[in-house]
Amino acid sequence: MNKIYLSFLLILLIILPGCSMNEIEEYSIVAGIAVDYKEEQYEVTYEIYKENNGETTSLTSLITSSKGKTISEAMNNIANSMYQVPYLNHCLLLIFNEDLLNNSFDEALNYFIHDVRIRSSCYVAVSKKTAKEILETSQDIKQVISYNLYKKFDQLPKQVNIWSNSTFNNIMNETIFENGVTVLPIVEYNKNFNIDNVFIIRKDNIIFKAKPEEVFIFQLFSDTVDEGIINIKDYCVYLKKLDSKLKYNNNELLLELNMQLLSYDDAKIDIQNPGKKEEIIKELSEELEKNIKNTFKKYQEKKVDPFYIYRLLEKKDSKLYQKIKYQYYNFFSEVNLNLNINIDILTSGLSEERLE
């Protein structure tokens, strides 16, 4: 933990060039921001780094919050109540509550997009309860929650069911599309943090909740998954490597998947038997294809595109996209999906025990 703290101080020296130690001490470094909306009022909460009685052996945090009719008013009220200046440029996590998504998500997002203090690598998430409660967990477990969640997202890129594509920069990029969707991970806490569900927000503020197995399929389309345990039918296998390519031509989508599966969960079956291996590969491929097509059809019917097909279309056929972008979901609902799935089960490193 000493290394973390020393690294943190070095960052401060970089981001506050020319400042004396007295000037640095005038700032409170905000690790995370929670924004809750209820009864036409905002409550903004800061998680702030603090030292433990001057010790540098660990980092913990303190929580401060304030309310206002607008986010700006609530943030100004916090600043006025603090004896140090809140420094937001190193905020790692921005978290909203579900009520905000349903009532004023566009307003909140626009506010932070225009706040130059929010860094592009900051992760954005949603809490099923209040966003404040997530940050307040730090007082129970004596950790900096914003830092821990940031590292969980940042160190698990391309992990099965973990949507780590919700940086502020990525979300801002989606706003330029007329048909853009925002996919945000849901943070839940019950002794441990769970982040494998997501909310999908369409531009007209229609919101959908996706299950972890659907998140995995979104990842296949956007090439944002590499490894992790997946369940296909009755099989539990470890995805070691994925290479995915998405192509479009004349109203036809082709998703090519090349997958390496490291482990197979039934040690009683001789996976090194070529005949049995081919049988399992065939069964896994058929089941995966069925799951992908069913999920794709489901969201075609809902007229929401968490697969980011509009990105591909804008890149590959910009003239067509410009022509249909205002009726995009009529177009999207008629697209045909074809799949080419190649699975290889690696026999090295097989576990003798069933994966849980």
Question: Span 110-137, mean pLDDT?
Answer: 90
The share of the chain scoring above pLDDT 90, in percent, equals: 34
Looking at residue 308, what DSSP letter applies?
-
∠ at Cα 245 (241, 247), nearest 5°? 170
SS (H, E, C) 70-121: CHHHHHHHHHHHCCCEEECCCCCEEEEEHHHHHHHHHHHHHHHHCCCCCCCC
Of the candidates 251, 254, 250, 255, the residue with the CA atom closest to the CA atom of residue 333: 251
- Tell me the pLDDT tens digit for each residue of 78-118: 999 988 899 999 999 999 999 999 888 989 989 998 898 99
pLDDT of residue 133: 92
Higher pLDDT among residues 234 and 117, named by residue: 117
Q: Is the pLDDT of residue 6 over 50?
A: no
- Per-domain residue ranges for the chain? 1-210, 212-356
pLDDT of residue 68: 95
Main-chain dihedrals φ then ψ at residue 278, nearest 5 degrees: -65, -35
Most confident of 11-15, 24-28, 39-43: 39-43
Alpha-carbon gap, residue 1 to 324, rounded angstroms: 53
* Range name among 50-59, 209-218, 238-247, 342-351 with the lowest pLDDT average: 50-59
Higher pLDDT among residues 189 and 40, named by residue: 40
Amino acid identity, residue 169? N
pLDDT of residue 348: 54
pLDDT of residue 129: 85
Q: Is the pLDDT of residue 123 over 90?
A: yes
pLDDT of residue 180: 85
Domain 212-356 has CATH 3.50.50.60: no
Question: Span 192-220, mean pLDDT?
Answer: 86
pLDDT of residue 43: 95
Q: Is the pLDDT of residue 20 over 60?
A: no
Alpha-carbon gap, residue 86 to 79, rounded angstroms: 6
* Range name among 29-38, 106-115, 161-170, 213-222 with the lowest pLDDT average: 161-170
Binned at pLDDT 50, 70 and 90, residue 10 comes out as very low
pLDDT of residue 350: 46
Of the candidates 237, 235, 238, 231, the residue with the CA atom closest to the CA atom of residue 217: 231
Element (DSSP H or E) covering residue 156: none
Question: Span 137-151, mean pLDDT?
Answer: 81
Q: How many helices (H) and strands (E) does the chain have?
A: 13, 13
Q: Is the pLDDT of residue 2 over 50?
A: no
